[in-house]
Amino acid sequence: MRTGSEYHEPVLSQACIEGLSLRPDGIYADVTFGGGGHSRAILERLGPKGRLIAFDRDSDAWANAPRDDRFTLVKSDFRWLTNHLRFLKALPIDGLLADLGVSSHQFDQGNRGFSIRFDGPLDMRMDRRAKRTAADLVNSWDEERLSNTLKAYGEVDGARRVAKAIVSARASHRIATTQQLIEAIAPVTPRKDESGFRAQVFQALRIAVNDELGSLEALLKQSAEVIRPGGRLVVISYHSLEDRLVKNWMRAGAFDGEEKKDLYGNRLRPFDQQGKAIQPTAAEVSTNPRARSARLRIAQRR
């Protein structure tokens, strides 16, 4: 198994560290541990009394945990953030970092089913303890539900045609591998951008399998409860669905972007956004292509 930076090159690492405005004796959460690149960068700047609580539901990531008395790895989805931090007596925290999406390691492992480049089981589970796979979705959901998922989570053009093609293909055999899914949607795949189109379909199924947007909403809501006033929320997103939720939450404290006020006209948003979204430099993208679509947003607890 690959570890460290070979597992996943941390994106916008320096900007994340600066965004967290680290205190040497502070308590921080890295809710997307992965290869541990961001966690190691945080630990390098913490003093002996500092603490870092990391989360990851992918068992492949657990072997990357550093041996450090200041570090704790929670083998769980970050949607249960508050409960775990309370159990660890780590409330409130001084900052939270989330690097969303799929790690380079997950994309590079054909047996995980995330990538359009390799044939393998149509799995896509980030937590392999979960029961439902992408194969279960494409073989059991009706055409309307598949179409709605493809449109909402993948922004797939012609989502209805794609869903119909999947339903037609599975009538003769179960769609059990990534290659079988690619073949199932081949009749409706545009020749102009085959890879991009397939990636959108895979993204939609992956988000649905892992309830990624549900987990993100739960995380953002809890961030207002667990981060102390003056603490920082730092989030990297990779597609418009994630970024919209993050941006609206930081700006308005509401996922629809509509800021609420109390009876006296006071704003109820829990955070103040710090500057504009940060994008990787051309130099970083050239060495780490995964960073290409990254958007980093930073907010401070009011």
pLDDT digits (tens, 9 = 90+) for 226-266: 999 999 999 999 999 999 999 999 999 999 999 988 898 88
**Residue (of 104, 298, 127) closest to 206 by Cα position:** 127
Task: Give the tens place of pLDDT for each residue, 166-206.
Answer: 999 999 999 999 999 999 999 999 999 999 999 999 999 99
Same domain, 185 and 62: no
**Residue (of 221, 214, 211) closest to 82 by Cα position:** 221
Domain end point (choices 158, 190, 210) = 210
Write out the residue range of the structural domain in which residue 246 sits.
Answer: 4-104+212-301
- The per-residue b/e assignment along 111-139, b for 16 or more CB within 10 angstroms, e otherwise, is ebbbbbebeeebbbbbeeeeeebbbebbb
The residue-averaged pLDDT of 82-98 equals: 98
Percent share of the chain, pLDDT over 70: 97
- Dihedral over Cα of 56, 58, 59, 65: its sign: negative
Q: Please report the pLDDT score of residue 104 as a whole number.
A: 74
Residue 55 has pLDDT above 90, yes or no: yes
Q: Say how far apart CA 237 and CA 243 lie, in whole Å.
A: 5
Confidence band, pLDDT 50/70/90 cuts, at residue 2: very low
The residue-averaged pLDDT of 51-56 equals: 98
Confidence band, pLDDT 50/70/90 cuts, at residue 4: very low
Q: Please report the pLDDT score of residue 8 as a whole number.
A: 57
Confidence band, pLDDT 50/70/90 cuts, at residue 5: very low
Domain end point (choices 160, 190, 210) = 210
Same domain, 65 and 151: no
Task: Give the tens place of pLDDT for each residue, 13-40.
Answer: 999 999 999 999 999 999 999 999 999 9
Same domain, 188 and 221: no
Same domain, 201 and 283: no
The alpha carbon of 230 is separated from its chain's Cα centroid by a whole number of angstroms, namely: 24
CATH of the domain at 57: 3.40.50.150
User: CA 68, 73, 76 angle in degrees (round to 5)?
Assistant: 175
For the chain, the domain total comes to: 2
Domain end point (choices 191, 210, 229) = 210
Confidence band, pLDDT 50/70/90 cuts, at residue 9: confident
Same domain, 174 and 25: no
Same domain, 181 and 46: no
Cis peptide before 92 (omega within 30 of 0): yes
- What's the predicted TM-score (pTM) here? 0.93
Same domain, 196 and 242: no
Same domain, 240 and 176: no
Strand partners, 232: 95, 300
The alpha carbon of 215 is separated from its chain's Cα centroid by a whole number of angstroms, namely: 9
Mean pLDDT of the chain: 94
Q: Please report the pLDDT score of residue 7 as a whole number.
A: 57
Same domain, 8 and 100: yes
Residues 6+ apart with CB under 8 A from 189: 182, 197, 198
CATH of the domain at 186: 1.10.150.170
Same domain, 191 and 245: no
Task: Give the tens place of pLDDT for each residue, 123-157.
Answer: 999 999 999 999 999 999 999 999 999 999 999 99
Residue 25: count of CB within 10 angstroms of its CB = 12
Same domain, 89 and 216: yes
Query: Residue 289 to residues 10, 11, 187, 285, 292: CA-CA distances in angstroms?
Result: 11, 10, 30, 5, 6
Task: Give the tens place of pLDDT for each residue, 279-301.
Answer: 999 999 999 888 999 999 999 99
Same domain, 158 and 92: no
